Amino acid sequence: MKSDAFSTLPLPAPLLDNLASLGYSKMTAIQAASLPAVLDGRDLIAQAKTGSGKTAAFGLGILAKINPRWFGVQALVLCPTRELADQVAQEIRRLARAIDNIKVVTLTGGTPMGPQIGSLEHGAHIVVGTPGRLQDHLFRETLNLSGVSTLVLDEADRMVDMGFIEEIVGIVRACPRNRQTMLFSATYPENIRKITASFLRQPLEVKVEALHDNKRIEQWFYKVTAEKRLEAVTQILQSIRPTSALAFCNTKERCKELVKDLQARGFYALALYGDLEQRERDQILLRFANKSATVLVATDVAARGLDIKDLDLVVNVDVSHDPEVHIHRIGRTGRGEEIGLALTLATEKDEKKLGLIEAYQHADLPWGKLEDLKAAPGGPLLPPMITLEINGGKREKLRPGDLLGALTGDAGFAGSQIGKIHIFEFNCFVALERAIAEDALAKLSPCKIKGKQFKMRLIA
Ligand code: AMP
């Protein structure tokens, strides 16, 4: 049997030490199946999904051969969405902590070109981006791919579904022929095989099962009537009292309906669906991630590719039409060592869908009774944090340390009372413990940060 220890791989010691410090004690299935060949320079076609550890599979392949002393683009990762690109860049940065001075730049749409061009001019080793924006940079000749030795197409099926074929072909052509190419795709149908065949040279093909380990996710199904569906979500929240719950709906309309209902009942709920503006999406996601909203109500499309972690609960408000999607949804809870909880509401009309899930899981569905979900004590379900928005960002050269310093310095708060800090071009967001939020606003508003006074407000 092959060993799944990272130490069996020909990786430099600092990279191995860093993996241990990240808590990656052994390789995931996709890593064990692909890394030996990847580190040997082979091309790869991998069928694997988010959550499988695929980013580290190609990330380590990239980092093993990067030359930190040469500040040209040596690796390019193409992703379908901005969220995935951000997530991939973040994971590569974590993996690269062990190597001095590796610059990872994300080039995605919806943000100004100027700063991206600036970052490229300063030198970037690794570029992670979306096809449209990458093509823009190629047209303007602000991106030079002639030094790329590793090319990754992540979620290739999705990029093709989104109609990015032409852009992808153009970008691949801008890379040298002599390179290593890795293609990751959740599915690998004939059309994608055809389109991508010319990009790859004798690729190794690996496939890992998409099924999550059932033992790590406690799953229950509940029968409801269509009229009682929204009420049942309330009952679940009152009984489980999660800090972060993701509620899946099949349609945007249902998302809107549910979020309105939950807000009216006093829950801190936000909705994420397809046609929101990038700015709104960013803000919703960060408020959920920084724990100042309890429930994120989302469609599958909107939630795809998002790395939302530490979820203590997933609620399927509607049963998915596709059993694979169901498995993917519930896989969002219980990552790592934690046991997750996934509850699904089903009406009589869902019988066929439930049959598919049952067949897919090779196990009977565990049915629970809604009556058994009693409201737990504790009053209204409040998120532990509140988000403070400050009208200044990267443009004013604000950094997390400046905000943390202002809050823990003169204002006198403890570092542990401050949560995640997100900084954008023109504004930034600081998560504050609920109990100190008003006080922090009062103390911070009159202060100067980086020599300047900023407008700020708490986002309710
Ligand atoms: P991905 O499929 O790349 O989105 O990875 C899913 C999650 O698994 C990420 O949060 C990674 O940080 C984490 N991860 C990747 N490889 C390992 C590993 N070998 N051991 C533990 N966690 C890992």
Spell out the residues 6+ positions from residue 434 whose beta carbon is closer than 8 angstroms to its own. Answer: 382, 383, 384, 385, 386
Q: Please tell me the predicted confidence (pLDDT) of residue 243.
A: 93
Establish whether residue 48 lines the binding site of ligand 1, counting it when its CB lies within 6 angstroms of any ligand atom.
no
Which residue's alpha carbon is nearest to atom 15 within ligand 1? 53
58 Cα–ligand 1 center, Å: 12
Q: Which residue has better confidence, 301 or 201? A: 201
6-207 folds as Rossmann fold (3.40.50)
385-459 folds as Alpha-Beta Plaits (3.30.70)
Longest dimension (CA), the chain: 64
Question: Given the structure tokens 């919806």, which residue do they identify?
Answer: 110
Q: What is the DSSP letter of 392?
A: -
Domain 217-372 identical in fold to domain 385-459: no
pLDDT at 214 over 70: no
Q: How many CA atoms lie within 13 A of 236 on its CB side?
A: 32
Tens-digit pLDDT profile for residues 283-306: 999 999 999 999 999 998 777 767
Spell out the residues 6+ positions from residue 439 whose beta carbon is closer than 8 angstroms to its own. Answer: none
Ligand 1 atom with the smallest distance to the CA of 48 is 2
Least confident of 52-66, 202-216, 242-256, 346-360: 202-216
Ligand 1 atom with the smallest distance to the CA of 31 is 19
Q: What is the residue-wise DSSP string for 184-252?
A: EES---HHHHHHHHTT-SS-EEEE------GGGEEEEEEE--GGGHHHHHHHHHHHH--SSEEEE-SSH
CATH number of 217-372: 3.40.50.1260, 3.40.630.30, 3.30.70.890, 3.40.50.300?
3.40.50.300
Establish whether residue 53 lines the binding site of ligand 1, counting it when its CB lies within 6 angstroms of any ligand atom.
yes
Of the candidates 299, 294, 284, the one whose C-alpha atom is nearest the C-alpha of residue 236 is 294
Least confident of 67-76, 238-247, 353-362: 353-362
Q: Which residue has better confidence, 50 or 423? A: 423
CA distance 288 to 96: 27
Q: Please tell me the predicted confidence (pLDDT) of residue 336.
A: 58
Q: Using alpha carbons, list the distances in angstroms from residue 250 to 4, 90, 427.
A: 38, 29, 33
56 Cα–ligand 1 center, Å: 7
Which residue's alpha carbon is nearest to atom 16 within ligand 1? 53
Q: What is the DSSP letter of 312?
A: S
445 Cα–ligand 1 center, Å: 40
87 Cα–ligand 1 center, Å: 11
Establish whether residue 200 lines the binding site of ligand 1, counting it when its CB lies within 6 angstroms of any ligand atom.
no
Confidence of residue 309 (pLDDT cuts 50, 70, 90): low
Given a contact cutoff of 8 angstroms between Cβ atoms, the answer to whether 329 and 249 are in contact is no
Q: Please tell me the predicted confidence (pLDDT) of residue 310.
A: 67
Q: Percentage of the chain with pLDDT > 70?
A: 96
What amino acid is encoded at 427 in this protein? N
Pocket test for ligand 1, best of 8, 30, 50, 55 (most atoms within 8 A of CB): 55
Q: Please tell me the predicted confidence (pLDDT) of residue 215.
A: 43
Domain ranges across the chain: 6-207, 217-372, 385-459
Pocket test for ligand 1, best of 28, 52, 63 (most atoms within 8 A of CB): 28
Establish whether residue 34 lines the binding site of ligand 1, counting it when its CB lies within 6 angstroms of any ligand atom.
no
Establish whether residue 55 lines the binding site of ligand 1, counting it when its CB lies within 6 angstroms of any ligand atom.
yes
